[in-house]
Amino acid sequence: MTLAMDIPALHEFMQQAFPQVADDFLVDRLDPKGLTVRMLIGDRHLRPGGTVSGPSMFALADVAIYLAILSRIGPVALAVTTNCSIDFMRKPESGRDLIAEARLLKLGRVLAVGDVLLRSDGSDSVVARAGLTYSIPPAG
């Protein structure tokens, strides 16, 4: 499987399509099996008590699958999340970026299904696991 977009192209797409959040995310690894995305954690991602908020973890999982899909099909801005299930398993480690490892389980013409494991940078412990489905708009 050849990739339709490489890491610089994914970063450029995020800057153009989602400039309000693009600087929060960095693709660390990309290959035909999936990708790794880093969320650069700042104060805006924290909830009281200093832990990363659930909505921030959801955003990371969602962006990771979105970029995994785009890496295969090209820059389709209107691909959208149709389902997400996320299990929060433990508190992320304080003061560390979050890392998402995303893989596509199915990439069809209309739907894409994938899963994501979230970890604190430098840790092997899974913080959250998400399963996502995306709708891919018809070409044209």
Rounded to the nearest angstrom, the gap between the alpha carbon of residue 60 and the centroid of all alpha carbons in its chain is 5
Q: pLDDT tens digits for 43-84?
A: 999 988 888 999 999 999 999 999 999 999 999 989 999 999
Rounded to the nearest angstrom, the gap between the alpha carbon of residue 35 and the centroid of all alpha carbons in its chain is 9
What is the arithmetic mean of pLDDT over 6-32? 97
Q: pLDDT tens digits for 80-136?
A: 999 999 999 999 987 899 999 999 999 999 999 999 999 999 999 999 999 999 999
Determine the pLDDT at residue 95: 87
Higher pLDDT, 23 or 2: 23
Cα gap 93→91, rounded to integer Å: 6
Determine the pLDDT at residue 3: 96
pTM of the model: 0.96
pLDDT at residue 1 is higher than 80: no
Cβ-contact 129, 86 below 8 angstroms: yes
Rounded to the nearest angstrom, the gap between the alpha carbon of residue 16 and the centroid of all alpha carbons in its chain is 17
70 exposure class (CB count in 10 Å sphere: 0-12, 13-18, 19+) = buried
Confidence of residue 28 (pLDDT cuts 50, 70, 90): very high
Instruction: Record the tokens describing residue 66, joined without a space.
Output: 């979105």
Cβ-contact 45, 59 below 8 angstroms: no
Task: For residue 97, give the amino acid letter.
Answer: D
Task: For residue 36, give the amino acid letter.
Answer: T
